[in-house]
Amino acid sequence: MTVLNNDIFLLISEHIYDQQDKTRLLLVCRDWYSLFLPKVYRRVSLKSDQIYPLVRSIQKNPRIGPSIRHLWVEWEGGHDSDEGAGIEIDELLKTLGTSESDESLDEWKAALRFGCADAWLVVLVLSVEFVKSMDMNASYSGYFFPMLGQIIKGNAFGSKPPLQHLEIASVWTDDMKTHYMANDLLPFFSLPAMREFNGGGICEFEDDNSEEPVVTVSGPGTSKITTINIGGHHSNNGCKGMADFIHSCANLEIFDYQHDNKAIWGEIYLDIRPLLFYRALYSHRHSLRELRLNNQGEDESIGFDEGNDGRWNGFGSLAEFHQLRELQIPFCTLLQFGTTNQPRVSLVEILPSSLEYLNLSYCDDENFDLVIKNLSALLARREQFPNIKKLEVKPLFVERIQGVLGEFRVPASTQQRFAPIGMICRELGIDFGFNMHGTHRLL
């Protein structure tokens, strides 16, 4: 019988996707165990009741922890593992660099003995030294995020800091009634290898001056994160313009934020405050390449935000953002309508010559003439905007296609109104069209 080369075995294993099937490879023989162990544990997906068993496996086999590069964790609050109850913690604490006499960690240590999955996640993260990406749906965390902050600040454990190789962190929730506090997630911006932060269900509170950012443990402008994506289909509410996140970065290149008026379900509702986002992003005018600001989020004021008296409804010029290539933003925000029905500026005044793709979102029928006028002026200044390759208009109102579930179209009247713009774009070699992705209202 011909013995296959180990490289061939590894190539074959690339086509095994089920985690249980991968684990079975380890049971064939000792040679396969040694060969496939790093492969099997390279990507790990866990539910809450699997956190403690994995930690136990890592303690028994130190090769497992360093093999984990991508960690996906999801749990529901209050889920405890009976397996962890009554476990001897002393040796574990010594391994982590703390001791039984450390009273500041008493509550966490008690949670470990009780088998709390959230408490054991702290131990897991301290055990995966070379993890590069973490994807977490953990909105009910009572220990992990506070403990992570203490660890990174050096206030907990004597061992070397965790997550030093982490490049991508994704923290989100699919429950509209839950949220994360932005301040609890700031420690991620202090990690040395971090390049991308993704979040959903993140909220800021007005518990201090809304215009004063809170610096991270490493100080402002020190994070190497270049991408902040707080968008997608998860609700967020940044009443301070996510300034703490933005100011933490040295050279932010991509920023995506989608707003939800709900900050805390049933308690706090806050409108978006564009000016605070602009003030924070202005410090990255030398590096920002893509900006998507509430082009899919909630754009209507709900009238409950008494703290927003109009001071933060404006925006500012992007003419100095010389690296900006993509811009997706509500038309009224970009042209600084504020509380009036008239724009304060024009597109040719506030857009940079570097722009390649412009998406004007939430264009109301009553503003179509203004949109067309501004686009016409923009296209007439081809020498000022030589890089424009694509223009899109996102109508506020669309119509449902009868008989087709979940499908919509731009009304014929809207298409006719913008036909002259489409004709000019074709002559100039610019792609023009309508965008219906994300939130919209039906006719």
As a whole number of angstroms, the distance between CA 395 and CA 404 comes to 20
CATH number at residue 431: 3.30.750
Pair 257, 294: CB distance under 8 Å? yes
Three-state DSSP state, 432: strand
Does a structural domain hold residue 411?
Answer: yes
Query: Can you give the CATH number for the domain in which 17 is found?
Result: 1.20.1280
Structure tokens at 305: 């935000």
> Tens-of-pLDDT digits for all 443 residues of the chain?
446 566 565 565 565 656 666 676 665 677 666 667 777 788 888 888 889 888 988 888 888 889 999 999 987 654 555 555 445 676 777 676 665 566 667 788 888 888 888 888 888 988 898 999 999 987 667 788 888 888 877 666 666 778 999 999 999 887 777 888 999 999 999 999 999 999 999 999 766 444 444 444 455 788 999 999 998 766 899 989 999 999 999 999 999 999 988 877 777 888 889 999 999 999 999 999 999 999 998 877 766 665 566 677 789 999 999 999 999 999 999 999 866 678 889 999 999 999 999 999 999 999 999 999 999 999 999 999 999 999 999 999 988 888 777 788 999 999 999 999 999 999 999 999 999 877 767 66
Q: Are strands 390-395 and 397-400 parallel, antiparallel or unpaired?
A: unpaired
Classify 416 as helix, strand or coil. Answer: helix
Q: How far is CA 375 from CA 295, 334, 359, 421, in A?
A: 18, 13, 11, 7
| Residue 296 lies inside a defined structural domain of this protein | no
Task: Please tell me the predicted confidence (pLDDT) of residue 210.
Answer: 47
- Do the domain assignments include residue 337? yes
Dihedral sign, Cα of residue 154, residue 159, residue 163, residue 164: positive
Q: How many CA atoms lie within 13 A of 405 on its CB side?
A: 0
- pLDDT on residue 217: 46
pTM, two decimal places:
0.88
Structure token digits, residue 284: 């990255």
Nearest to 258 by CA among 241, 279, 240, 237: 237
Beta strands in 125-237 (DSSP E): 133-137, 168-171, 180-181, 196-199, 202-203, 227-230
Within 10 angstroms of residue 340's Cβ, the number of other Cβ atoms is 11
Q: What is the 3-state secondary structure (H, E, C) of 183-247?
A: HHHHHHHHCCCCCEEEECCEECCCCCCCCCCCCCCCCCCCECCCEEEECCCCCCECCCCCHHHHH
H or E element: which one contains 221? none
Residue 443: predicted pLDDT: 63
Q: What are φ and ψ of residue 110, in 5° steps? A: -65, -40
- Determine the Cα–Cα distance for residues 417 and 330; give it in Å rounded to an integer: 19
Please check whether residue 210 lies inside any domain of the structure.
no
Q: Tell me what pLDDT residue 26 has.
A: 65
- The residues, ordered by sequence, that sit 6+ positions from 314 with a Cβ below 8 Å of its Cβ are 274, 275, 278, 336, 338, 344
Q: Is residue 335 part of a domain?
A: yes
Separation between Cα atoms, residue 121 and residue 134, nearest integer Å: 12
> Does residue 263 lie within any of the structural domains?
no
**Residue 335 CB neighbours (<10 A):** 23
Give the total number of structural domains in the chain: 2
Rounded Cα gap, residues 63 and 21, in angstroms: 20
* Nearest one of 54, 181, 194 to 128, comparing CA atoms: 54
CA–CA separation, 372 and 424 (whole Å) = 12
Q: What is the DSSP string of 334-399?
A: HTT-TTSSS-SS-HHHH--TT--EEEEEEE-GGGHHHHHHHHHHHHHTTTTSTT--EEEEEESEEE
Using DSSP bridges, classify how beta strands 227-230 and 133-137 pair: parallel, antiparallel or unpaired: unpaired
Asked whether residue 132 is assigned to any structural domain, the reply reads no
**Residue 273 has which token pair?**
């405050």
Helix ranges, 257-346 (H)? 274-281, 331-334
CA 34/CA 14 separation, integer angstroms: 17
d(CA 333, CA 326): 16
DSSP at 254: E
Q: Give just the sign of the alpha carbon dihedral 99, 104, 108, 111.
A: positive
User: Tokens 């927003």 label which residue?
Assistant: 308
Q: Is residue 259 part of a domain?
A: no
CA pair distance 75, 15, nearest whole angstrom: 28
Max Cα-Cα span within the chain: 82
Which 3 state secondary structure label does DSSP give 48? helix
Domain that holds residue 353: 314-443
Structure tokens at 80: 């405890």
